[in-house]
Amino acid sequence: MSDIPLPQSENDPVLSRIEVLVADITTLNVDVIVNAANESLLGGSGVDGAIHNAAGPELLEHNKTLDGCKTGLAVITPSFNLASRSIKHIIHTVGPIWREVTDNPLPGQPNVNAKIGYTLEDTLLASCYMQALTLTTNHKLETIAFPSIATGVYNFPKPRAAKIAFGHIFGYLSNYAPNPETDFPKKVTICCFSQADADLYIQTIATKDDWM
Ligand code: ADP
């Protein structure tokens, strides 16, 4: 696991609460990890498979009692076997499957999003981050780690996903949890699964003033 210093983080009180790591998310020392789940919540490939493996079969049994989770929403569960590693909870959120053409996401309605420069998938991905962060605040959890939601089998373009992820994490901390003494979460980890993904985040953050 490598801990990557962020550009300008010493001078920026919000940036200093965000870190980028290369790691298997199930090995982190945080209060809650986020799972890039599918709508069934019954496990899958990628990070979902790794989290179910590490949490153990009780997670699957628990999730069978839930009614799934819609794309863009999030639910919180216990972490079962991961509790032995300090991870108290898992937030399952369902990222959007990237589709190149999003001209008509809602039949019969104009695609307002595309006209103002973002797609339905962008909105849904942003919602995953906002929902997860809100759960962290409501449950008074200090530290949360996100994988790069939807950028694996769901095929969301990585540079676009990195802007949405970082932009909403930074915006949430700035607006809804500005005081790390009293607000939750205090720290957010962006957990990448490759050095190339981490480099992309570092670059995205370094150029934030150009696109935020
Ligand atoms: P999605 O279906 O949302 O695209 P994936 O699990 O396929 O979910 O991929 C999401 C991201 O999680 C990808 O960047 C992938 O490299 C990463 N990933 C896969 N396994 C792990 C893991 N154990 N820890 C952290 N990130 C992981």
pTM score: 0.93
Distances (CA, A) of 18 to 143, 173, 191, 202: 10, 9, 11, 11
So what's the pLDDT on residue 104? Answer: 47
Q: Which residues are catalytic?
A: 48
| Domain-located, residue 7 | no
So what's the pLDDT on residue 20? Answer: 97
194 — pLDDT class (breaks 50, 70, 90): very high
So what's the pLDDT on residue 114? Answer: 59
Specify the number of domains making up the chain: 1
Q: How far is the CA of 116 from the centre of ligand 1 (A)?
A: 29
Q: How far is the CA of 192 from the centre of ligand 1 (A)?
A: 8
Question: Is the alpha carbon torsion for 113, 48, 40, 34 positive or negative?
Answer: negative
Of ligand 1's listed atoms, the one at least distance from the Cα of 36 is 3
Of ligand 1's listed atoms, the one at least distance from the Cα of 154 is 4
Cα-flanking dihedrals φ and ψ of residue 120, to 5°? -55, -40
Would you say residue 7 has pLDDT above 80? Answer: no
Q: Would you call 192 helix, strand, or coil by DSSP?
A: strand
Q: What is the CATH number of the domain that holds 166?
A: 3.40.220.10
| Domain-located, residue 132 | yes
**Domain of 75, in residue numbers:** 19-93+119-208
ipTM: 0.98
| Domain-located, residue 64 | yes
| Domain-located, residue 106 | no
| Domain-located, residue 99 | no
| Domain-located, residue 34 | yes
Percent of the chain with pLDDT over 70: 88
Q: How far is the CA of 45 from the centre of ligand 1 (A)?
A: 8
- For range 52-64, the mean pLDDT: 98
Cis upstream peptide for 185 (omega within 30°): yes
Average confidence score pLDDT of the chain: 91
| Domain-located, residue 12 | no
- For range 21-33, the mean pLDDT: 97
Model confidence over 138-173: pLDDT tens digits?
A: 999 999 999 999 999 999 999 999 999 999 999 999
Spatial distance between the Cα atoms of 189 and 136, rounded to a whole number of angstroms:
13
Q: In the structure, which protein residues have their CB atom closer than 6 angstroms to any atom of ligand 1?
A: 24-26, 36, 45-48, 50, 95, 147-154, 191, 193, 197
Of ligand 1's listed atoms, the one at least distance from the Cα of 156 is 4
| Domain-located, residue 104 | no
